[in-house]
Amino acid sequence: MSENISRSYNPQINIIKTKMNNDTQTVGFCKLCISDDGSVWSIASWHVNNPYQKQGYGLQILKEAILYANEIFGLPVKIEYIWDADNDYVLNWIRTHFDAEQKTQDSTNDWAFHTYYLNKEKFFNYLGLEVLCKEKS
């Protein structure tokens, strides 16, 4: 069984990982939205399908998206995660690993209310990409 990663940018980065066997199966995907000047990267969507969860694919897909964004834009000033308010474990995970801070406490601004700033250094370290911070700082 072979694996394939498809990358595209238009004006967001889309990473889709597939496994090839008798029929193509999508393992998961990640969508990054990039600010016009490339300084803010927002993880807008990131998901791994069953039965591929808890096998490291999510990390691979996210890492591929970050590396691709870095190829195009260089390092961002900020990294955001847009939480869909669906899974509390995701919010706990980004708070625990990346010191996520809510963009606003104003719940009338739904988009900003569900956006969290991530500690960039901790984020790159978690992905095993700490060298990016050191090389370009």
User: Position 1: which residue type?
Assistant: M
In the predicted model, what is the mean pLDDT of the chain? 83
**CA 105 from chain center: how many Å?**
23
pLDDT digits over 23-48, tens only?
677 888 888 988 888 899 999 989 88
Q: Across the strands, what pairs with 4?
A: 18
Per DSSP bridges, beta strands 78-82 and 40-48 are parallel
Q: Encode pLDDT of 75-118 as tens digits.
A: 999 999 998 877 888 899 999 999 999 887 766 656 667 899 99
Q: Phi and psi at residue 101, in whole multiples of 5°? A: -120, 130
Can you give the pLDDT at residue 135? 52
- Model pTM greater than 0.85? no
The burial class, CB within 10 Å (0-12 / 13-18 / 19+), for 47 is: middle
Structural domain boundaries of the chain?
Answer: 2-136
- How far apart, in whole angstroms, are the C-alpha atoms of residue 76 and residue 92? 24
User: Which pLDDT score, from 0 to 100, does residue 19 have?
Assistant: 64
- Please say whether the beta carbons of 46 and 31 come within 8 A: yes
Paired strand residues for 17? 5, 28
Superfamily of structural domain 2-136: Gcn5-related N-acetyltransferase (GNAT) (3.40.630.30)
